[in-house]
Every structure is written in C-alpha cells, then in structure tokens.
Amino acid sequence: MLTSAPAAVSPNACAVEAAARQFLLSLKKDCHLLVAVSGGGDSFGLLTALDEMRIASGRPDVRLWAATVDHGLRAAAAEEAAWVASRCARLGVAHRTLLWEGEKPASGLMAAARNARYRLLGGEAERIGADAIVLAHTMEDQAETLAMRRARNGSALASGMAGRTLVGGAIWAVRPLLHVRREDIRAFLNARDLRWIDDPSNDDTRFERVRMRRLLHNRVEVLANEAEKAARAREALSLRAAALFADAVTLHDGIVAEIDAGRFASEHDPARYLLNILIPALGGLAYGPGGAALDRAMALCAAPHGARMTAGRCLFEKHRHSLFILREGRALVDAEIAPGGAAVWDGRFRIENRACEPRRIRAVGDGADDPDHIAGLPRRLARLAGAVRPAVPAASGVSCSPYLAPFDRFLPGFDLALANSLAEAFARPAYPDPALAYLR
C-alpha cells in the first residue's frame, strides 16, 4: 500500500541529508554502490537522499545501482518491485529485481529469508562490480535489535547491528542511517511529495521484531545510545581476544586448537569471547554455543588432566597445562560435489571439484593411517583429529581450503581484526579491508 506522510515536516528531516552527505564524503573516488531498496520508506528515502546528495556534496563520481529482493512470500511483492523499478527509472538509477526461488522452509522462515536476501544482494554486487552494498537500517532497527538480543541471551553485554558487515567474505554491507529516526526519513520524503510502500508484515505480531517494536515506545534513542556504547565495548573486547589468540593459542593443521589454559583462566572476558568464536570455527557452525557451554569450557581450563566435555560439535580435553579443542567424530555427513562445482563440507572446508566426474567427500574416519600426522599432539588426539579430516585423494582434481563458519557468511565490523587473526592461522587470505574496498 502506498503511503505519504502527514503534511507537517519535522525539522529533523535534514538528518537524512546530513547522514547521506557524511557517508558520501567518506567514499573513495568513483565508488560504485548497490542500494537495497524494498520500496518502504526507509530504503526509498535512503536511495533518494543518496541520489540528491551526490550532487549537493560534490560527489557526482559516486555511482548508484538499486536492487529489490522479491522473496516470493507475498502476492504483492512483484508489483512492489515493479513500482521500485519505475521510481528508479525516474531517478536515472539502474535497477534489478532479485528473486528468491525454490522451496521455502516451514520453520525459521525469517532467518532463511534474511540469508537468501544477503546471498542475492552479494551475488548482484559481484555481477555489477559494486564496491559496497548500502542498507537502510534506522535507529529504530538498531534499538529493536539490541532489545531482542538482550531478551534472547539475557546479557547486558549484547550489541546491536554493526555499522558495516562483510557479506560472503567478499563485500561490505554498510548502514549509514543507524543514527537517523524513521519519522525523519518520512519527513524527508514528505517534503518532496514522495510516497512509499507500507509492508503489511511490519504490523504482523507473529514476528519477534514487530512485537518488540510495540514494547519500545519512547525508549528508541536510549537504546540506540546504549547500542553505540555496546559496539565500542565489543570491538575493544574483540581486539583483546585477537591478542589473546596470538599469544595463547596454537592451531594444529587447521583442525585442533591448543590453548594455554592458564592464560585463558587469567583473562576471563577475552578468553570467553574468543572461545565463542573458536568453537564454531572448529565445529563448523555459524554461531558459538554461548551461555552455559562457555561457562563449562572456561571451568575446564582449571580442571585436572584428562577432564573433557563436548559442546558445539567439538570435543574439549585437558592435557596437563593445555586445553585442546577439535571437531567431534560424529554427524560427519558425506557430500556429493558435481564436476566443476564447489560446496562447504561439514561447515569447515570449502571443496572444489575440478574433475570431470562427481566426487563424494567424506571424513577419513577410523581408517586414518597416520595417527602421528599432526605433530605436537598427544597420540589419542592426533588419531581423533586425523579421523575428522576430509578424505581428499591426491591428484583427484579436488581442492580443499579452510572455511571459517563464524565469519565467512557474515562478519560484523567489530570482529575484523579477530577474524584476520584466525584467517592467518588457518592459512587463509585476509578479509577485505573497508579502507581499501570502498572508503577514502
């Protein structure tokens, strides 16, 4: 449904212009931006402001391209995408509609839609050679995100959205409107007599974000300020975790982490943060276990020799003064990779098949023929580590490289230094530096 704002114009409508100007002035010369535009007030306001302020701020060299994701979940979505395309044509901005095709999950639909949206936007950015994706998340979105994360994990240390997030390990998605109120974006559009589309799902209380929005009332600015402080605190903690990783963790063959248990016990907060990254990296999951599992892992640092536990698909075992972490030898599923295809196996390795026949990738398993393959490990752990490696025959046309599940889909800017520390240890290329990707 098309909507226009009330006639009165908020004096804060200029906040949209200011945010767009500040963002444009931060960009490198001839920067190419892919703007995600749903047709809602936030994203249409963002595109309009960027288009206007390119000239007003002396940045006509910045190129804009727009994309609308049609998730195929509402009958009106195709019509709305066509409306966005027509508005982009009026602005002289190239536009493309991206379709989420295939079956939709019966549960976890919103998370799946989010993953599909970013995958499609990342693919479009690569296709057109964009330097960054631009998203229209607002102060309200930031406040809602912080409140939801606090409600889920009960932690006062939860953070909101990062100002930028690396998508697919390849391109930065940037949020220049996180300090702008939604009502100011509407006022900005109203001052230009522009309309937008209201998505009915924004009022559907089946969704957590909608329910949280109704609870926040006038706490938006307070929560947004808290999110800003939390972001600074998280980045500082992540930097401490990166330093601890360099000093107190040895990675064996990209499969086993050997931790100086005494150092971890003496540096509780960065150690706990680091464990919540190391565990999913070694276990092949996107997220760490958090909560009680981390408490148990930290307690294991002070446990006697031989103590062990499992969490996040990982085995933890104490040997003298070291805590070892590696993938458990269970639920290791085979993967069939077509000729010329690629896939992520077990969330830990990216496998490419350059052969002319399909290849089936499985774990080495108990048939590992060299338990001493990984030097420096206790024999039992070397045997277990050998069993969870992918079996990749020599000269098979198959290549294998480490995949970092916590970072390779979404890497929040808070964690860039830590992610690059892990990438170096796993013999991976560094993640793209925003200063080189799209900034001056």
- Annotated binding-site members: 38-43
Which residues, other chains included, contact 245 with Cβ-Cβ below 8 Å and sequence gap of 6+? 274, 278, 418, 421, 422, 425
Give dist(CA 81, CA 435) in Å, integer. Answer: 33
C-alpha angle 338-119-169 in degrees, rounded to nearest 5: 85
Q: Binding-site residues for ATP, please? A: 38-43
Q: How far, in whole angstroms, is CA 155 from its chain's centroid?
A: 20
Give the CA distances from residue 264 to residues 178, 213, 304, in Å, rounded to whole numbers and listed in that order. Answer: 35, 39, 15
Which residues sit opposite 390 in a β-bridge?
Answer: 363
> Angle, to 10 degrees, between the axis of helix 416-425 and the axis of helix 220-248?
30
Q: Contact 34/211 with Cβ under 8 angstroms? A: no
Half-sphere exposure of 56 (CA within 13 A, CB side): 13
Q: Contact 346/361 with Cβ under 8 angstroms? A: no
Give dist(CA 294, CA 298) in Å, integer. Answer: 6
Q: How far, in whole angstroms, is CA 96 from its chain's centroid?
A: 23
